[in-house]
Structure 1
Amino acid sequence: MYKKISALVLAGVTTLVMAGCGSGSGGTDSAGTSGSGDKKIVMGFAQVGAESGWRTANTKSIQESAKEAGIELKFSDAQQKQENQIKAIRSYIQQKVSVIAFSPVVESGWDTILKEAKNAKIPVILTDRAVDSPDKSLYKTFLGSDFVEEGKKAGQWLVDQYKDSKDPVNIVQLEGTTGSAPANDRKAGFEQVVTDPKFKVIASQTGDFTRAKGKEVMEAFLKANPKIDVLYAHNDDMALGAIEAIEGAGKVPGKDIKIISVDAVHDGMQALADGKINYIVECSPLLGPQLMDLTKKVLAGEEVPARVVTEETAFTQEQAKQALPERKY
């Protein structure tokens, strides 16, 4: 009888040891913790939508980077509607995610939902676009481009191109989504540099960052304005739509109408290499790796900068030709 009891005890100990090895090899327990005792990170990400090639690349970067970082990603597409983003963020708060990240559709109207996240002790990281809340304690950091600087780069290229000309230069502008940070800031930055009275913005209207709307608005511009010298588009997709409209009107994009754009997605860079666009200011969508790094630092209690600016450049036709073969988006 003693030998049988000893054998049963030994078997039980062996089973426990084997179970311990199994959980220690990367599994999670019922509380969602790993074998090392680290709590699993769950990110709720509320995306603007899928309005452009840039946004598609941005989404892919976030999804792939979360997977590589071992972060569980709960993802929502707001279809460019603020109410959808607020609904998604509120859902993430109810689910008690570790962190919330989002790219705001517009700048205003976020204080209430951000206060809800703060009260729930869930840190928030802004990506790509900012909010205009005066209470900076409602989010930990803002990761993204300097849209004002992008507008300045676009404006400086224009000023340089026409520095020796005294003739008036008629400009039309395809703005991004009304009320969004990139639309507001790219317009403001451009205006800060393009101050000579010879430059006249004769028409400016939103194209919602989409190719279809860019084409539609450009067609209207062409019908209403017989002489257009320059198009400034707040993103490549609108510029590409405008190119279709310009060609449909029997004009040559890049020659009859010079085109300045922002983003530097693959299709835009190809149009630049082909001479249909004249200059593109880069706005990188590949924010995923930086976002995951910031997330881990925030959750570890580390100090992070209130503003993290992505490093970007700008492209001429020749530079686009050189960059295209290894372009990742």
Structure 2
Amino acid sequence: MKQRLDARGLIHDRNLLKTDKHAPPERPWCVLTRKATEPASRRAPRRVAVARRPRIAHLCPTVAQLSVDNPPVSNYLKLTNVKYNHICDLREANNKFGDDPMVKGTAHPARFVSITLIAVAALTATSATYAKGLKIGFSQVTLQSPFYVQLKEGAQAAAAADGDELIFLDANGDVTKQNNDIQDLLTRKVNVLIVDPVNPDAIAPSLEAAQRAHVPVITVDRNVHGNVVAYIGRDNVKMGELSGKALVAALKKKGVTSGKIIEIQGDAGGTVMMDRRKGFHEAVEGTGFKIVEGPYSEYIRANAVTAMQDLLQANPDLKAVVAHNDDMALGAMQVLQEANRKDVLVAGVDGLSEALNATENGNQYVSTSLNDPRYLGDITIQTAREVVAGRKVPAFVDAGTEAVTKDNVKQIKHDGLFGEYRPKVF
């Protein structure tokens, strides 16, 4: 008897499978068709039901899918764990699955399992083709910083380039709103969920809800303390350390070997803040300089201006300022220049083009670390596609960074809002 397996993994053989009598009445087996999923009772001739575990449903969004809240009950849901090079070993297939209630009673149980395996393999092999027109949910921490605006725009451009739908929701720094936003995205049946968390612990209920809905979750820019497929970002400890070391080197080049360095911090409890602070402190440790920790300014320039005005009054003997992003560092430099304190050096992180111009054309802003947000958004969408396609991705997808000082600033393209740094990731 001939079996034909087309490009979509559909098996055309009306005699090999007999599923109706084994289908639980409350959970009728679904049949793969060209258009939509149909109950077994409406199955047309020469269409064969292929059982798959819920995860596979998300790998093939343009093929009929099994409902994620209707998990099948038989052993062959684990078929995707079987090595595909063993598909043709009918005896092994029979031994593994011959007693399954769905297989038992068919004319050729081993052949049934083999063909089902081939279907799953074909679906997986062609998943890159099926991973088109995805519905991608993106819950962003805030849009109050140019970095996050550019991250959003990079993700939108990457999604549109391949015909994917990106549903973007801004939490505006509010944990409660972010949890509600994620629930909204899950209700909209997204294929994959991207989260830039307000707080690494506070979205745990939403992560659990995504897991129950079998929606894979990836995080960007900030990681979480929970079960996610991948975290896309940059090594923020390294970024803080690179910028801090460049600042100390610039101070020593001026003959300054000790004194106060004011640190303007990002957001309280944020993983990016904690990592960048760690990197700065490691760079300064043992150098003779003392770090004075300033208030949390939420990565917003206006907040940093207010903070720097108070810090300058309280610490007139400061030697330098380091901030957890360039926007805050530029706000601090504005206050210093208005107070005619051009002797105080400034460093930041993120590679904002305004900061690179200040480094290139002046002597006060001495260092930053590249953190191209548009490329980060691009890589995030690429990672989402890889996940939906069933390909293995690293737990940490590193988009890379590099320190920028007066020595190399002219080598960095920075005619946009941020300096470009785009090493190949995939």
Is TM more than 0.5 here? yes
Count, aligned residues? 295
The aligned residue for residue 13 of structure 1 is: none
In 1: Cα distance, 2:130 partner to 2:410 partner: 50
Is the 8 Å Cα contact of residues 261 and 318 (structure 2) preserved in structure 1? Answer: yes
Would the alpha carbon gap of residues 325 and 175 (structure 1) be closer, same or farther in structure 2, given more than 3 Å must change? closer
Q: What SS does the aligned partner of 1:297 have?
A: helix
Q: In the alignment, is residue 258 of structure 1 matched against residue 348 of structure 2? A: no
Q: Where in structure 2 are the equivalents of 1:59-138 lying within 5 Å?
A: 59-133=152-226, 138=227
In 2: Cα distance, 1:181 partner to 1:284 partner: 18
Q: In the alignment, is residue 218 of structure 1 matched against residue 308 of structure 2? A: yes
Q: Where in structure 2 are the equivalents of 1:1-329 lying within 5 Å?
A: 33=62, 40-133=133-226, 138-162=227-251, 167-196=257-286, 198-252=288-342, 256-275=343-362, 276-285=364-373, 286-324=375-413, 326-327=415-416, 329=418
Aligned-partner residue type, residue 265 of structure 1: L
Q: What SS does the aligned partner of 2:318 have?
A: coil
Aligned-partner residue type, residue 102 of structure 1: V
More moved, 105-114 vs 72-81? 105-114
Would the alpha carbon gap of residues 299 and 169 (structure 1) be closer, same or farther in structure 2, given more than 3 Å must change? same
Aligned-partner residue type, residue 277 of structure 1: Y
Is the 8 Å Cα contact of residues 353 and 415 (structure 2) preserved in structure 1? Answer: no
1:323, CA displacement in angstroms? 2.7
Q: Sequence identity of aligned pairs in percent?
A: 29
Aligned-partner residue type, residue 270 of structure 2: S
Question: TM-score with structure 1 length normalisation?
Answer: 0.83
In 2: Cα distance, 1:157 partner to 1:38 partner: 44
Would the alpha carbon gap of residues 319 and 148 (structure 1) be closer, same or farther in structure 2, given more than 3 Å must change? same
Q: What SS does the aligned partner of 1:96 have?
A: coil
Please list the CA deviations of residues 154-174 of structure 1 after superposition, one character each: whole Å capped at 9, or x if unmatched: 222234335585742211001
Would the alpha carbon gap of residues 166 and 251 (structure 1) be closer, same or farther in structure 2, given more than 3 Å must change? closer
Q: Which has the larger radius of gyration?
A: 2
1:124, CA displacement in angstroms? 0.3
1:327, CA displacement in angstroms? 4.6
Please list the CA deviations of residues 90-137 of structure 1 after superposition, one character each: whole Å capped at 9, or x if unmatched: 11111211010011122222222101100100000101111133xxxx
| More contact order relative to length (CA 8 Å, sep ≥ 6) | 1
1:326, CA displacement in angstroms? 4.5
In 2: Cα distance, 1:186 partner to 1:145 partner: 11
Is the 8 Å Cα contact of residues 270 and 324 (structure 1) preserved in structure 2? Answer: no
Q: CA RMSD in A?
A: 2.4
Would the alpha carbon gap of residues 274 and 67 (structure 1) be closer, same or farther in structure 2, given more than 3 Å must change? same
In 2: Cα distance, 1:39 partner to 1:143 partner: 21
In 2: Cα distance, 1:226 partner to 1:292 partner: 46
The aligned residue for residue 81 of structure 2 is: none
Question: TM-score with structure 2 length normalisation?
Answer: 0.65
| Unaligned ranges ≥5, structure 1 | 1-27
Is the 8 Å Cα contact of residues 203 and 221 (structure 1) preserved in structure 2? Answer: no
Q: What SS does the aligned partner of 1:229 have?
A: strand
In 2: Cα distance, 1:98 partner to 1:242 partner: 42
Would the alpha carbon gap of residues 82 and 37 (structure 1) be closer, same or farther in structure 2, given more than 3 Å must change? closer
Aligned-partner residue type, residue 267 of structure 1: E
Aligned-partner residue type, residue 368 of structure 2: I
Please list the CA deviations of residues 194-240 of structure 1 after superposition, one character each: whole Å capped at 9, or x if unmatched: 11262111342211100100111011101111111010111011011
1:318, CA displacement in angstroms? 4.6
